[in-house]
Amino acid sequence: MAEETTYGGGGPGARMGKGRLEAFSDGVFAILITILVLELKVPHAADLGALSPLVPVFLTYVLSFVNLGIYWNNHHHMLHAATRINGRILWANLHLLFWLSLFPFVTGWMGENHFAPVPTAVYGVVMLAAALAYYVLQSAIIAGEGPASRLAAAVGNDVKGKISPALYALAIPLAFVNQWLSDALFVAVALVWLVPDRRRARTRRRGRTPGAPARRPTRPCCAARGRSGGAGRRPRACRRGACTRARARRG
- pLDDT tens per residue, range 147-188: 777 787 877 778 888 899 999 999 999 999 999 999 999 999
The mean per-residue pLDDT over the stretch 5-31 comes to 70
151 and 245 together in one domain: no
The reported pLDDT for the residue numbered 194 is 87
Residue type, 80: H
* For residue 118, pLDDT beyond 50: yes
Q: Note whether residue 213 is domain-resident.
A: no
What pLDDT band is residue 45 in, cutting at 50, 70 and 90?
A: confident
Radius of gyration of the chain (CA): 26
197 and 226 together in one domain: no
SS3 content of the chain, % helix, strand, coil (to 5): 70, 0, 30
Q: What is the DSSP letter of 231?
A: -
103 and 201 together in one domain: yes
229 and 148 together in one domain: no
Burial class (CB in 10 A: 0-12, 13-18, 19+), 2: middle
The mean per-residue pLDDT over the stretch 58-78 comes to 92
* For residue 246, pLDDT beyond 80: no
Q: Note whether residue 11 is domain-resident.
A: no
122 and 72 together in one domain: yes
When divided into structural domains, the chain yields a total of 2
Residues paired with 85 in a beta bridge? 16
3-state secondary structure of 6: coil
- For the chain, the maximum distance between any two Cα atoms, rounded to a whole number of angstroms, is 87
106 and 146 together in one domain: yes
Higher pLDDT, 125 or 141: 125
The reported pLDDT for the residue numbered 242 is 52
Q: What is the DSSP letter of 158?
A: -
165 and 235 together in one domain: no
pTM more than 0.95: no
Q: Note whether residue 31 is domain-resident.
A: yes
- pLDDT tens per residue, range 190-215: 999 887 666 555 555 555 444 444 44
* For residue 49, pLDDT beyond 90: no
The reported pLDDT for the residue numbered 134 is 94
* For residue 140, pLDDT beyond 70: yes
Q: At what angle do helices 87-100 and 55-81 cross, to 10 degrees?
A: 170
Could you tell me what percent of the chain has a pLDDT over 90? 41
159 and 236 together in one domain: no
Q: How far apart are CA 153 and CA 151, in angstroms?
A: 5
Q: What domain range includes position 244? A: 220-250
The reported pLDDT for the residue numbered 208 is 47
* For residue 75, pLDDT beyond 60: yes
3-state secondary structure of 195: coil
